[in-house]
Structure 1
């Protein structure tokens, strides 16, 4: 075994020319016997131009370099020369020493993360300084480079106008032999096409591209402080799959926020319409202030919280990305909320009129109050998912079930216990009246089920049409 410390002590380093992404070389000068030895390493296709080689030898080296690169090896060429003095420019007239291939094993979870990105409509691109052959071999193994995808080298990119790059940017999946300036051009090209760009990097040279991207992701373990400083996110484990998990979490949180807002606005529109329409038609007040306060504090609050902490849908990473310019009420959510609120309000007024006409005003208010409360509780299950309320997923949110049981029990308690009913100015309901209330509450569930079924049927009928069109990457 070689004694590294002894070798360094015997052959001291007197000069170092650090690696440069433009030169793609790195050189050192060490003391050696009675003179000095220059050792240079770097890209094989660049280094051979500085070596004393015949055309046959150059061709053989490049052939071997490609063979190693196809095996997904990062290939480094090494050359040297002996000299009697310390040269100002040591990187010439070198003697070629050989090729070194290093393997960077792919983490098992990364391949699955790439597959998840593809399903989620996220285009993953490899931007690297490695040789094109090496980059393609790794990209194919990961699933980044597929049959119809193109590749681009730094030389080709330098000769390409920005307008042409922007027009064809989505057709490329691998960029090799790329400089820091090239990375910035690539990021801006994707952004010019309306894409939201997340860029990963760890070096000082990555800082401009990290800053220009919509989401800069720096490596927490191997990343430089400069990269971490300009990044929006720092990956503590330097793992690409962490980014994919963050996307899943973000999508889930966004959907839960939409669910809570959907439920609250539909419920409140129902309450407003119940009172407004009664005033408009000159009827007696269907709900008293204390009853409205109860609905807002109890019936609305617990289900909204439960929806906000709902489990994420298993197929959430199968949805296409949201347009960043689309609002919270896009995809018809605003219209849906308004119509559902109208139904809740109308059902409450129907209960009020049935109770008032057949019995008395207090009974009518009791029935309206109960329908308004319970219909909202049933509606929380409608809001939870675009799937049927009768599927097995309905039972997955235990907090929503608990909130439904608690709120329903409290509502029955308020109406059925004489002392409490007196406070809320309601009457205990008979079996027939409870049956009417339950039927009216289930009307909203049935309407929602029909709407979901119609939406699913419409979505399925559109699939053959989309399949006949040229697929888009956006």
Structure 2
């Protein structure tokens, strides 16, 4: 689907977020009443015009950018650079007085200018991150106004507008669902969850529920993956959740790196040393009866010679060489100072989905009721498990295609994981559908939590039902139900997402199939357990981090049970460590978090601003923090951290723009190699500085 860049960014905040309607914890009627809108008629044209003037366009308006000249001048605030400029000016005076050439002062100024140019070239990170937010939005919206449905530019939406959505649509603004049918929304861009969120217009949601648990809401920039909906717009532009992230990105400023801090301190020492040299020479000259002009020129010459004017250039060269070496190991450095910061890293705060895990739902275990066996998915499973895979594939709409030998999953990730597992067993979906054609179906919906198909299998009409185990099991009257309950509990303890499968034979195809007719009197067939699995190399990378004295921390928008299971598997969560949710974190003051942060290894269901709090707490403890991530929800924390590492393949443009380093292979282990390289470079710089002094 074509994406048109329509969102920009503004430092001038529209009506305050405190005035924005929190629509998730009140009824639909209350939302409609407070926004003075009608679900069938929508707003009038006159009313939308007034609201557009009041709230502004549904955009992140363009910020005032610094000019090249402003950026260039900002490069001269460093103490060492100021000292070098003073040294160059004095050197000019000495050369002029003594009739010498101006090679040395010109060389010093050239070095200073080169450093300034490199600084300007590296300083566009925040602006790139904010501009990338433009790509995560819908260019148009289907809206109901004055009872008529029309398509308008999404920038013209206002709070109170009634919008309609279907599968494949980008959500153009934050909205409360009025009605929906089998609605699933891909919210990974905001929450980090790899599984689409099942929405329910009637869901009861707590006031302090995290974004991922607000099942009656839609958020700008997310994608409808299944179903349809009608919703009322509750927030637009900078007042949306995407706008909130833009504010966080804008408000985060970068402090000096450990190397910059030490070089600034060195610069101050060198300045005092130069002044001391001048004072000593001045008094010695006076005592010797020399002329004041001669004393001044000698003192200045010695002071200038005491300053290592080549230091900035040499440090830059060493860092640049490190950048080249890291690039060969799949780490692209976007800012030179990030090289040595990596070497100082003592904490790595990592997102889970797409960073520590594959970001691809994978079917890993199957329980077959016929045989009573539980098997891991492999190339040749038993006949009982293969039958479960065959029936589950026939009852799935997700597809797996191949592009340059790589699997491309299209549709619901839960279903595509089933289709992929069947493929491993030689059960191709297209071939199964050809041999056992689908005769009719009842699509999945969030009320039933089931999907049903009728297939012609070996001359019989077979009803196949797939869905939530707790719902499905009550509709079965055959099969080993007790064993199924036992394995369902075990799979749940392992943080798997579990689906049940059942079937029955019918003699006559119904004219109008209904749930009561098809989804009762079933025979239980099996369980399908799936998860977004850890990357194969992640566990070794975590182990290497611990050996190097680096503390790994998981920060995710996923559920606590899932996050804890993955973290324990990767040895991020060790015995005695704590795992908490965003709601628990919200109840802590910053001082309490600062005290407890060292004992917490997993944070689940957290919002973007929570991630910043965690980074700040570690920094308050004196840690140098690296943050890795790939989603829009990671971007503010990537910018707040001492070193932000974004994924190059699965990472969003927003995350890459806010980062200091991009991992081109999306491999968590790459950061471990980068830390080693950073430590080596830091040691080289220390030796170089010592030699020059």
Q: Which has the higher strand share?
A: 2
Question: TM-score range, shorter-chain basis?
Answer: 0.3 to 0.5
Q: TM-score, normalised by structure 1?
A: 0.40
Q: TM-score, normalised by structure 2?
A: 0.28
Q: Which has the higher helix share?
A: 1
